[in-house]
Amino acid sequence: MRWKLITFTCLLVATLNPSAIRTSSAITLDSNTTSSESELKSTYRNIIDNHLNKNFSIMRTVRILINHYPEHASYIVDAAFDARENRVKAIVVAAMQAEPAVTYSVVDIAIQRYPDLCDAIVESAIQTEPAYIDDIISIALKREPGQADIIIRKAVASHPDFTESVLRTAAKEAPNSILSSITESIKALPDTATALVSVLKDFFVGTDKEKQNYSLNKEEWRLLTLEAKQSGVSRKELEWLVNEGYLEKETLAKIFDEKLN
């Protein structure tokens, strides 16, 4: 109990008075501390409540704490969720803005606690730190593989330029959701259909070893091709699907209402 009182006092002084941060952190946040994780989270919850009572916003409070103690980002964010459960996305954004390097741990704890908000968390996180898109997609797919389609689609929709990177991450975590996700992305973003098909071609036209990692059927390719055609992608830009054996020649012709010679 004495440890908690000392820690709370020193952390509170440190966060309200930045000049005190070095002294307080040396005293209370030693790496050899024997405090439990629950005590640490409880301490941060007390600090957060104190800040909120002084009319600090939850975003400002989270930024202050993570700026000072990035190594405790997951505890800070977890405590912040307890304090303001209706501000999940704002808390995630504030934490990442304060220290981008904590992105993985922050998104991880957020999705663990709020799996129903996974797609919203992913979208907010990518918009905040697109450079960490691989980490964001990776942890989201590990935590919520059943939401792979929407996770990948959100990522592609947020930053089409990162599509190839997203596909490579998805190939490791949810390989069988790649085509359906891209199909949904084309449907949602018809103006980017040609670019998405081009990226897909670059990704799948590889070695036989690379192709063996995926269990994709021709019906999925047919649906993707149909959606691409409806979004303005030309037959010529889709011929690689036949050349690579992903689609039958007759199927492509039927989609484009052409007669075979």
Residue with tokens 């980002």: 73
Please give the structure tokens belonging to residue 46: 């007390």
Residue type at 52 in one-letter notation: L
**pLDDT at residue 135, rounded to an integer:** 94
Looking at residue 15, its pLDDT comes to: 52
Percentage of the chain beyond pLDDT 90 is: 53
Residue 207 has pLDDT above 80, yes or no: no
CA dihedral 141, 147, 152, 157 (to 10 degrees): -140
* Distance (Å, whole) CA 109 – CA 96: 13
| Residue, of 245 and 6, whose pLDDT is higher | 245
Q: Specify the DSSP element, H or E, that contains 74.
A: helix 73-83
Q: How far apart are CA 88 and CA 90, in angstroms?
A: 5
Q: Which two tokens stand for residue 245?
A: 């054996």
The pLDDT-based confidence of 214 (bands split at 50, 70, 90) is: low
Q: What is the largest CA-CA distance in the chain?
A: 86
pTM of the model: 0.77
Residue 50 has pLDDT above 90, yes or no: yes
